[in-house]
Structure 1
């Protein structure tokens, strides 16, 4: 019995001691938290008591070279409800059903949902938001917001791009320069009691949003509007599937416009155009096709406009002179393959100047064979044609070219006059710009600077010097030859009264061969002696007449006739005859 009493006493002491140690440890822990961690837990307590509502930042505007706003913001409202603060649910449901045009069932489901905050509708017009605010209903929150607004809707749609519901850029400049344009969202912080009801006496804390920077670009609204109208008229006149026009400064690579018709509505970018609505396929695929910027993303066979590149390489290599004589009998045989000239009866005796004026395939095949595949490919690399241009837009495609090891005489022959490979319109425009501007490779680009709302420059966008691609002498001779193409050759319809214009026409078959589908194109520049503007016009699948010299060159002529005086380019020829139709 004594042993049992001693054991019980020891057990009680052990339990009591343990209890004291635990209490002492808890006391020390509480003391530590109260003294050394008080500020931390005070912050957590505030967070529990705070309710946060986001305030969108105004997205930076996109502004053209003349100060015309191409993309801006429109004030809209976001309507939300806070369940615990609603005093008259039926009044809230009635008001929101009436003002927002939603069904009572939709509104009731959200109003009765137990949550900290429930969004009813975003992008509500400002006047409707103000009307709901005037009801002064407890638990209904009306917050000012921003919606992207494009004042010119379809103009430059595939270049500008658009934003999604989260105000993030999806395609085009909006996506490429999203970080600069986006800005930093603000917050509205309110305090609530244990039931989640806001404590009015404590008010609210508003952290103001910071607007995104404005993006100033080389695009010109007036040139873009005219080029778009011209492209739409051309598409309708020739019942074509699409028309692209690029206008740029060949000296520095600045893009004045990039037109892809049919364009789409920037105000309703998820609504298919009439043209796309008639196509079959999943809507997502059709939307991606509708948004696609063909000028930079799609490749095509350039056809005879590529003879500019062949000429530049041959002149630089010294395998031809403008005065050299050739003879065209209507075809040329390479190995066992007979390749015809577009003039099947032949051009007869001609010097090289007239060969390029006549766009004579056999002569250019001879130039390609003289250069040989290794040297020709060397010039493709020197001209920087085998990679992307580096334009500041997402989704640029690269040149699709044979591998050198697979290029035999026949492949070399077809390459020399622009067939059996593909490149993008922007690559063609950029390469020709580099060859006719004195020989300096340019990087096509659109962004110039970013500025804050006070006009202070925050970023300046400069392209890297890519170096010389041909000599100044070669560039000068090339300009003279291409001026003759327009003055007296296949490009006559590209003439502009008062200006010396250089250029080259092309008519290329679409794959598969024999499909009866063609691409008509023309690339031109002016003034020929010192180019300040270059344009490329591409017409896809024209019906009826499909020759580039007949239907694409006049489009460029009309374009230059309007934009050269607008840009302040002085006339260089006082007695130029008007273009002769052919």
Structure 2
């Protein structure tokens, strides 16, 4: 029995040894495999891991919109589309459809994209069809929402994706529906979506929103996105900009710049009571001779303001009580010696103004008169004059919401230990009093004049009213009062009267209007060339006009500044003329009459509407209560403007979208008003000459003709 037990034990040990050796062998194989994978096959398995790894990436938030004061889109994130067709699906069905509808498809695509011919689409589609490509782009550029909608109405493309193969891929892009209008004020984004300038930059924290987070799971050649944290869209900002006023200011300023060969032009319109900036134009001449907004000159230009500064000088003297409006000053023959330097009036060659009253010194903008008054009463104590300027708010900090905005530079006299002035000379005060020896951005000067119009209350310029999200106000930006009262009530009334007389009986007559009262001050200054002074090379001038209207019940203040080479240079005749067009245009736009007041029992209630911007026509007709046709497909999502034709009949107006012309083709402007006709042609780079009034009945370049930038087009109108 013991023998059997020993035999069984020997057999068991033998089996366990076999199992142990097998286990050892398996371990050695595993270790060998690990070494093999970790060395010889390491590169292969790292690639496999790369194909299957999971990444986390930020999911960008939709950027908020920038809107005008009445809610119109100034800058927004709008959709664009890649138009894709998959030629690999449903081939048998599509072969028959393709043969039958191919000509219609090509013709339809040419109608939607007129810059591409039918032959282009025939070759383009046939190439994709022959390759049986799964993601063939119908056109290489991105399409608008309107274009994409039109394409989806064509044969084959209107079929479901799994049947016809057509689908679109949406992208978002930043667009300015009004083109270059207020471009520098609104601002831009650079290539990576970061703000570059303007309100886009200043209010980026509200516009940008909060990025989300997504997980990208990569499995071989496919990526599977998964949103972990959804992004929060940015807020919209409601600006103070009025599109109509902005357009009016831009046109008036550009017309004068071209007429006098100006280098830089600025025009700003501010609402008196609120400080709202309704329009701000910054135009610079390019090497090509065209004009564009490339710098925010209105807030950044540090130039000597010239004679528009004289108003502040006289206000200080009146408010200090050293003079009154009956004060008389001798200006001689138009040339006066000021501490060894010659001070001249603009009419010095004809004998000057002789002895004139204090108000008259501003009416005729007498350099000698103003400088002699200030030098007489402040020459021995210039600190008191500069303190007076600060007291009336000239150069007060405005905290403008723009990167690079300038600040008024008004020098304060300084003395050394021996009581000698270190930054002040005999000529400093006389020349400072007439707008030299200081540097004031145009918007600071306008804020001062706006305070005079606002009965002495100085308010800061406001560019944004509020931040909104989903129709709810997130943050308000109320009007900021810089100074409750810039001067005594008596001083204010005297200055208001003098500024009105500058326009009604002085050098500012060109800025006036027969329909309402205007008050303001002209300005003409030589532009210093830095260390080279004023007399090296050709002379450049800054001509300005700053004022407000209507003078008896001020609603808006405005400043126009133009930098130009050579003579003639006149703030009244040149900048004042631009002010005149702006003020009259704004007052005409703001004239509100009820349509019902003009109706009689037998009156025709349907107005005649010109061809042109149908979106604008639809907006006006809706507010007049005039019915328009439904479904004409006019909306801001489709772009603005939308060009077309209008026809009045049976107490309604039918609006029809017109033919779209490529940028290198002359559009059809027959039947349009002057404003729309000039806009649509000038945006294509044409130089327009216009004759008559009413509707366009003749254009010198036929519709559909190829055009080149700078080409002259003559447009004739008649009623």
TM-score (norm 1): 0.73
Tell me if 1:430 matches 2:441: no
Query: 1:501 Cα shift?
Result: 0.8
SS of corresponding position for 2:408: coil
1:531 alignment partner, one of 554, 557, 569? 554
SS of corresponding position for 2:514: coil
Deviations 1:161-192 (A, max 9, x none): 11123333210000000110112334554545
SS of corresponding position for 1:536: strand
Tell me if 1:250 matches 2:243: no
Larger helix percent: 1
Q: Tell me if the contact between 2:519 and 2:548 (Cα under 8 Å) persists in the aligned partners.
A: yes
d(CA) in 1 for partners of 2:303, 2:78: 39
Give 1:148's aligned residue. 174
Aligned CA distance change for structure 1 residues 293 and 444 (closer, same or farther; 3 Å): same
Give 1:466's aligned residue. 482
SS of corresponding position for 2:438: coil
Give 1:352's aligned residue. 358
d(CA) in 1 for partners of 2:327, 2:437: 27
Q: Tell me if the contact between 2:466 and 2:473 (Cα under 8 Å) persists in the aligned partners.
A: yes
Give 2:324's aligned residue. 321
d(CA) in 2 for partners of 1:205, 1:402: 58
Aligned CA distance change for structure 1 residues 191 and 489 (closer, same or farther; 3 Å): same
d(CA) in 2 for partners of 1:516, 1:169: 37
Give 1:114's aligned residue. none
Give 1:173's aligned residue. 199
Give 1:456's aligned residue. 472
| 70-79 vs 59-68, which moves further | 70-79
Tell me if 1:411 matches 2:428: yes
Q: Tell me if the contact between 1:189 and 1:204 (Cα under 8 Å) persists in the aligned partners.
A: yes
Give 1:342's aligned residue. 346
Q: Tell me if the contact between 2:316 and 2:392 (Cα under 8 Å) persists in the aligned partners.
A: no
2:392 alignment partner, one of 383, 394, 411? 383
For 1:394-405, what aligned pairs fall within 5 Å after superposition? 394-405=403-414
Aligned CA distance change for structure 1 residues 516 and 391 (closer, same or farther; 3 Å): same
Aligned CA distance change for structure 1 residues 360 and 96 (closer, same or farther; 3 Å): same
Q: Tell me if the contact between 2:542 and 2:564 (Cα under 8 Å) persists in the aligned partners.
A: yes
SS of corresponding position for 1:541: strand
Give 1:366's aligned residue. 372
Query: 1:276 Cα shift?
Result: 4.6
Q: Tell me if the contact between 1:439 and 1:469 (Cα under 8 Å) persists in the aligned partners.
A: yes
For 1:562-573, what aligned pairs fall within 5 Å after superposition? 562-568=585-591
SS of corresponding position for 1:169: coil
Q: Tell me if the contact between 1:77 and 1:145 (Cα under 8 Å) persists in the aligned partners.
A: yes
Tell me if 1:210 matches 2:235: no
Query: 1:145 Cα shift?
Result: 3.4
Deviations 1:330-351 (A, max 9, x none): 1222222231222211212221
Greater C-alpha radius of gyration:
2
SS of corresponding position for 2:523: strand
RMSD: 3.6
Query: 1:529 Cα shift?
Result: 3.0
Aligned CA distance change for structure 1 residues 92 and 232 (closer, same or farther; 3 Å): farther
Give 1:305's aligned residue. 308
Give 1:291's aligned residue. 294
d(CA) in 1 for partners of 2:330, 2:592: 39
Give 1:548's aligned residue. 571
Gaps of 5+ in 2: 1-48, 84-129, 415-422, 594-719
Equivalenced residue count is: 470
1:71 alignment partner, one of 72, 75, 81? 75
Aligned CA distance change for structure 1 residues 528 and 522 (closer, same or farther; 3 Å): same
Deviations 1:258-292 (A, max 9, x none): 00124xxxxxxxxxxx825689xxxxxxxxx9632
Deviations 1:222-281 (A, max 9, x none): 00001111111111111111211000023321111100124xxxxxxxxxxx825689xx
SS of corresponding position for 2:560: strand
Aligned CA distance change for structure 1 residues 192 and 98 (closer, same or farther; 3 Å): closer
2:66 alignment partner, one of 62, 67, 71? 62
| 488-497 vs 376-385, which moves further | 376-385
Aligned CA distance change for structure 1 residues 386 and 183 (closer, same or farther; 3 Å): same
d(CA) in 1 for partners of 2:192, 2:330: 65
SS of corresponding position for 1:299: coil
Give 1:480's aligned residue. 497
Query: 1:426 Cα shift?
Result: 0.7
TM-score (norm 2): 0.59
Give 1:234's aligned residue. 256
